[in-house]
Amino acid sequence: MARKLAGRVALVTGGGRGIGRAICQLFAEEGAHVGVADIDKKLAEQTLETLPTPGIALQLDVAAKRAVEAGFSDLVAHFGQLDILVNNAGILLSTTFEDCSEETWDRILAVNLKGTFLCCQAAIPLMKPRGIGAIVNMSSVAAKSGGFTGHPPYVAAKAGVSALTIGLARYLAPHRVRVNAIAPGVIDTDMTKTASHADLAAQIPLGEVGTARDVAQCALFLASDEARHITGEIIDVNGGLWMD
């Protein structure tokens, strides 16, 4: 059976653990050469060691333009092209509307929203002239719900990612570059193992939290030719926690 991403080159940010690692692994299983990008180079290398296809580990701070440009340059120097970008890197810091500091707000927006923009910006000249490409951004159920458990800067950043996805999808559609997003709910990762998320998990209609592999399967679909006529969509992976 032909593998869905055979011969393609993907860059996955935040690929060192959790959802990002699961995406890297599934993409490689489906034949892609993966650039595993993470702010922690050791974590990226650990993910790379688990992949069945040749890849590259990249130390990449998505919130820094020069670091993004260097990472994309290294990937293209190694593989010669970029076909798929998954903007998965993100952080969640516990805060409320009343106690959120300016530093916390700026950091969360820098990684989750600015980082997504900078990586999309770096991908455009690598995809647009070739008339091929797929970008998958990571939004959140919080972008639709307004946040079940607070975290205002995270909510704002992820809502921005959703809007950015739609705008970029419209801009790149004439060049056959598709842009979509995934909005995960409560997924079993290190980032969601808190009391507030445990309470939220109990409200999931399907009766269980999602896995990183569940999100990776959606990313694979959006990155593959199976989604060739889909762009500008934000797909929920939340067990029914939020329905629209």
Q: Which of 154, 155, 181, 197 is catalytic?
A: 154
Between the alpha carbon of residue 93 and those of residues 28, 223, 244, the distances in Å are 31, 29, 27
* Of the candidates 225, 114, 234, the residue with the CA atom closest to the CA atom of residue 169: 234
The tokens describing 196, both together, are 């507030």
Give the SS3 label for residue 175: helix
182: nearest Cα among 129, 237, 225, 143: 237
**Rounded Cα–Cα distance for residues 228 and 184 (Å):** 22
Instruction: Mark whether 154 is an active-site residue.
Output: yes
Contact 158, 112 (CB under 8 A): yes
For the sheet with 56-59, list strands across it: 56-59, 33-38, 9-13, 84-87, 133-138, 177-184, 234-237
Q: How many Å apart are CA 159 and CA 141, to the nearest integer? A: 9
DSSP secondary structure code for residue 111 in this structure:
I
Based on its alpha-carbon atoms, the radius of gyration of the chain, rounded to whole angstroms, reads 17
Q: Which residues are catalytic?
A: 154
